[in-house]
Chains A and B, each alone.
Chain A
Amino acid sequence: AQSVTQLDSHVSVSEGTPVLLRCNYSSSYSPSLFWYVQHPNKGLQLLLKYTSAATLVKGINGFEAEFKKSETSFHLTKPSAHMSDAAEYFCVVSDRGSGTYKYIFGTGTRLKVLA
């Protein structure tokens, strides 16, 4: 069975400081992992994905994530937060075992950026 756990439901940072959103996964297979962002009243937008290539994955808007198999983690980082980064972030694992590749979402982390 596959699952993801987002360790923080809320994170607050000041504008211009680093962002760290934590995600741990559990998977019976070599996982495919994703981070999506959801702004209010908007759809889910793909930030980045890991599909067994480079362990350090760069995404849009300056975000990156590192796949660490030994720690079963896929934390999302950004060196300097911007006000526009305030949103809900979801860590996702793709269910490769079922053949459907349906997504299993974490419960989300709400990022607040303080001026």
Chain B
Amino acid sequence: DTGVSQNPRHKITKRGQNVTFRCDPISEHNRLYWYRQTLGQGPEFLTYFQNEAQLEKSRLLSDRFSAERPKGSFSTLEIQRTEQGDSAMYLCASSSVSGYQTQYFGPGTRLLVL
């Protein structure tokens, strides 16, 4: 159990560029979540996967955002045509079948859009 990992840890991009983040959950955790945390706020739910199926998306997830979890392992979150308002910490979490109510978080990817 090596924990949830996220890459990159930091990303600086210019407005209008596309960015992609990766999350590697704890092995054999079938549930995977993405959250967004802006400065001074608590994290907010973005989307949820059970295995490879994306089962829920928040209204926060505009059509510029897309997430995938091929083969039910790692997940990617892509933001197209980034805007300054996308600047935030993007957090990934995973949980298991048996301990489904407890989520384990990665260190996050901090995005700054200039």
Contacts and interface: CB of A to CB of B under 8 A. Distances in A.
A and B associate: yes
Interface of A: 32, 34, 36, 41-46, 49, 51, 90, 94, 98-108
Given A107-B41, A107-B42, A101 B106 contact: no
Interface residues of B, number: 26
Most buried by B among A101, A102, A105, A107: A102
Contacts of B102: 34, 46, 49
Nearest to A46: B102
B101 A44 contact: no
Interface string B78-98: 000000000000010101000
Contact of A43 (B41, B42, B91): B91
B25 interface: no
B33 interface: yes
Most buried by A among B35, B44, B95, B102: B102
B21 interface: no
A27 to B, nearest CB: 13
A59 B102 CA distance: 14
24 contacts: A32-B101, A36-B105, A43-B4, A43-B105, A44-B91, A45-B105, A49-B101, A99-B55, A100-B48, A100-B56, A101-B95, A101-B101, A102-B45, A102-B48, A102-B56, A103-B35, A103-B43, A103-B45, A103-B103, A104-B45, A106-B42, A107-B41, A107-B42, A108-B41
